[in-house]
Amino acid sequence: MSMILTIADLKDLARRRVPKMFFDYADSGGWTESTYRANEEDFQKIKFRQRVLVDMSNRSLESTMIGEKVAMPVALAPTGMTGMQHPNGEMLAAQAAEEFGVPFTLSTMSICSIEDVASVTKKPFWFQLYVLRDKDFVLSLIDRAKAAKCSALVLTLDLQILGQRHKDIRNGLSAPPRFTPKHIWQVASRPGWCVGMAGTKRRTFRNIVGHAKGVGDLTSLSSWTTEQFDPHLSWKDVAWIKERWGGKLILKGILDKQDALMAAKTGADAIIVSNHGGRQLDGAPSSISVLEEIADAVGDTIEVHMDGGIRSGQDVLKALCLGAKGTYIGRPFLYGLGALGKDGVTKALEIIRKEMDITLALCGKRLVTEMGKDQLRR
Ligand SMILES: Cc1cc2nc3c(=O)[nH]c(=O)nc-3n(C[C@H](O)[C@H](O)[C@H](O)COP(=O)(O)O)c2cc1C
């Protein structure tokens, strides 16, 4: 554990511990993966201004996201099938986030259910909603999130049709895993994972199975998504979802200035500048490359968050400098989880915190909330 110094170290370990089809599910993007790569690469082009002889004592990374106090402005992004990276994955990641003091967002497509996560946490978590054709089921999901005292609803806008990820098709991805010889080999070669999985009953989409009409099991995520995700979703729908939910609402998947302005008009509390981690529209720009123009366009009318490609605390600070009030990590926490379970998620957060703290000091700032365009070289 002491030699795990970077998110890349956690990724290497996860690759060795998680069955290939699930590791690949995390480590993949749409089609050529050009947007997935750009998300990470474009951060490298941004440079900080180094400042010296500035008092750097008493530093703080504390901030707020949608009015909630956070130990650092880094939430865990909603990720589907997290409970396949590690047994009970969503419950463990939520606990790690709670102990660290950052928000955890549970995906609609999670393995552990809203109720499972609520049963092991004390503070409210956030719930991410996909809008499906079965409106009764969507309403029941919103009501279940309310009953679990979730403090924000994250409405994902960029997956009404599933982008194609070649690795998932080649691997025959499914949850629970299928038992062809290839899958048996992939799973059997990760004995620690197998033992853990044998010890949990949480191996399918527990928000859905047994709750949505006619869904007994989900063997193919992509065929279910094709049938169930509602391609008619439009800006008008945001109003009834907002009304039914009645709490803080975050709109996820904005990548265009025009859409950001529309989102601000809905009265939502925040937008997430995001391309779904490069998993949807391959050929779309990286999130970090469009963040500034979107933040400038909406100004103070709506809080701006971003995700995509964050692999270090430095990346978080760059996003803050370019106008984000908060950020999210997807793969970094999944790699931590796959590598070392709950401790790995904590480790991912600690790595990011340390990198943020040292960078903040070397940029001559004491408060993370002071980071702005001035701290970048341009
Ligand atoms: C394995 C995986 C599953 C995901 N599942 C969801 C999901 O169910 N709902 C959603 O809104 N976003 C989902 N996302 C997108 C993330 O919320 C987030 O936008 C993305 O991971 C950020 O990029 P990063 O992984 O580079 O940090 C998923 C991402 C990954 C990697």
Mean pLDDT by 10 residues, the chain (378 residues): 91 96 96 98 98 95 98 98 97 98 97 98 97 93 98 96 91 73 87 93 90 70 73 94 97 98 98 98 98 98 98 98 98 98 98 98 97 96
What pLDDT is attached to residue 215? Answer: 73
- Indicate if ligand 1 lies below 6 Å from the C-beta of 253: no
Question: Half-sphere exposure of 348 toward its Cβ, with a 13 Å CA cutoff?
Answer: 32
Protein residue closest via CA to atom 2 of ligand 1: 79
Dihedral over Cα of 242, 130, 282, 325: its sign: positive
What pLDDT is attached to residue 22? Answer: 94
- Indicate if ligand 1 lies below 6 Å from the C-beta of 165: no
What pLDDT is attached to residue 218? Answer: 62
Three-class SS state of 217: coil
What pLDDT is attached to residue 174? Answer: 67
Mutate which of 79, 102, 132 for ligand 1? The one with the most ligand atoms within 8 Å of its CB, which is 79
Protein residue closest via CA to atom 8 of ligand 1: 80
- Indicate if ligand 1 lies below 6 Å from the C-beta of 35: no
- Indicate if ligand 1 lies below 6 Å from the C-beta of 336: no
What pLDDT is attached to residue 336? Answer: 98
Quick one: tokens of 96?
């790690």
CB 73 within 8 A of CB 368: yes
**Residue 139 CA to ligand 1 centre (angstroms):** 23
Q: What angle do CA 65, 66, 68 make, to 5 degrees?
A: 65
**Number of other residues whose CB lies within 10 A of the CB of residue 287:** 30
- Indicate if ligand 1 lies below 6 Å from the C-beta of 29: no
Quick one: tokens of 299?
């100004």
**Residue 322 CA to ligand 1 centre (angstroms):** 21
Strand-pair partners of 8: none
Quick one: tokens of 225?
């998504």
Protein residue closest via CA to atom 7 of ligand 1: 79
Taking the CA of residue 277 as reference, the ligand 1 atom at the shortest distance is 23
Taking the CA of residue 40 as reference, the ligand 1 atom at the shortest distance is 26
What pLDDT is attached to residue 115? Answer: 98
Enumerate the H helices of 199-312 as residue ranges. 221-228, 235-245, 257-265, 287-298
Which amino acids are annotated catalytic? 276
Among 291, 246, 236, smallest CA distance to 266 is for 236
What pLDDT is attached to residue 177? Answer: 64
Among 106, 113, 108, smallest CA distance to 134 is for 108
- Indicate if ligand 1 lies below 6 Å from the C-beta of 39: yes
All residues at 6 or more sequence positions from 376 whose CB lies less than 8 Å from its CB, including other chains: 46, 47, 48, 49, 318, 321, 322
**Number of other residues whose CB lies within 10 A of the CB of residue 26:** 24
What pLDDT is attached to residue 176? Answer: 63
H/E element holding 128?
strand 126-129
Q: For residues 260 and 292, what is the distance between their CA atoms, to the nearest angstrom?
A: 12
| Alpha-carbon distances of 160 from 13, 148, 156, 325, rounded to whole Å | 33, 26, 9, 27
**Report field, pTM of the whole predicted structure over 0.95:** yes
